Amino acid sequence: MSIPVIYPSSHSDHNPALEFVNGVLRDFVECPQRVELIRDHLVRSGLAASCDPAGATSPEEVLETHDAGMVACLEAASTKMVGESDYVYAGVFSVRPEMARVATNPAHPFGHYCFDADTPIGKATWEAALSSAGVASAGASLLVTGDVRCVYALCRPPGHHAGSDFYGGYCYVNNAAIAAKRLLALGKVAIVDIDYHHGNGTQEIFWDDPRVFFGSLHGDPDFAFPFYSGYADETGGPGASGTTANFPLPAGTDGEAYLSALDRLLDQVAVFEPAVLVVSVGYDTYAGDPLSTFAVGVDDFARIGARLARLDRPALFVQEGGYCLEALGELAESLFSGYLAR
Ligand code: OKP
Ligand code: ZN
């Protein structure tokens, strides 16, 4: 038994060199090798039969999820960059009503839509973002037609921090959200976000949408990025109360503690009775991940995979984070072997 894996045809030229970590420049962790390592490992281990690149989404599909002003800003900024290694970083942010004016130059107001200084735009960025969304959307289509019951969209750049009119956290376009909207053709959708970071963008997009359940396990926002959302009392808007669920977890969370929180989340998913499941996959809960404070082990991912399979729904896995290059292949192998074994 193997899983169809699809990956973006043009992500590799989106390759920023550096990011600031506590005022010090470090290598940019969200690098092209991430998805290449996972892809190659899954093919070698026989878990992925073939591995096909998928094309871009349409601008119309992106605009169903994202604000036109933000899309224009991202595209214009990307188009303006010239050299291979030129990247523009937001550094001045629009905060509160007194600083909310939007310049008329579409390539100018990064800080109006961008919420951090870690999400640069280069000349290949916009195309890569569309390509990544296209992979998620192509994966959703395979489930909608009923061709497969499970597909892995190896998206890069990731998407779960991008909201309807904001982007950040290495994310520009919300791949999982775009796919989930397409999957509504099958009925209600549940998104389970197992990335180490709260999927603030996905949460915002479906906050008041009763057709989509969003549940996330993540480092407590009291200490973990993106800091301003992901608390347990965030449970959905007035039109969709109870369709958002957050499980902020403490530093040091190990496999045992993680799985018991996952079980509580999946109980809620089962009650929601979704027609289909989207899993925002992050491997950054792994103990060896440079961004993680958790102690989840390689074998725990197999147990996570088995728990997800137990829901017995068609499933789209969408790649989000995970930055320990040495372990990414093994982590993916563990997750999907656990999923398939169930
Ligand atoms: C993206 B995903 C300081 C550290 C930056 C940003 C975290 C983005 C995580 N430059 N932290 O959810 O894995
Ligand atoms: Zn993450």
- pLDDT, averaged per 10 consecutive residues of the chain (342 residues), comes to 91 95 93 98 92 86 97 95 94 90 78 94 97 97 94 98 98 98 98 99 99 99 98 98 98 98 98 98 98 98 98 98 98 98 84
How long a stretch of residues is the chain?
342
Is residue 300 in contact with ligand 1, taking CB distance under 6 Å?
Answer: no
Is residue 195 in contact with ligand 1, taking CB distance under 6 Å?
Answer: yes
Q: Is 161 a catalytic residue?
A: yes
pLDDT at residue 1 in the model: 76
- What number does the ligand 1 atom closest to the CA of 26 have? 10
> Which ligand has its closest atom nearest to the C-alpha of 195?
2
- What number does the ligand 1 atom closest to the CA of 117 have? 10
pLDDT at residue 11 in the model: 96
pLDDT at residue 40 in the model: 96
Is residue 75 in contact with ligand 1, taking CB distance under 6 Å?
Answer: no
327: left (phi over 0), alpha (psi -120 to 50) or beta: alpha
> Which ligand has its closest atom nearest to the C-alpha of 158?
1
pLDDT at residue 114 in the model: 96
E strand or H helix that includes residue 144: helix 125-144
Is residue 170 in contact with ligand 1, taking CB distance under 6 Å?
Answer: yes
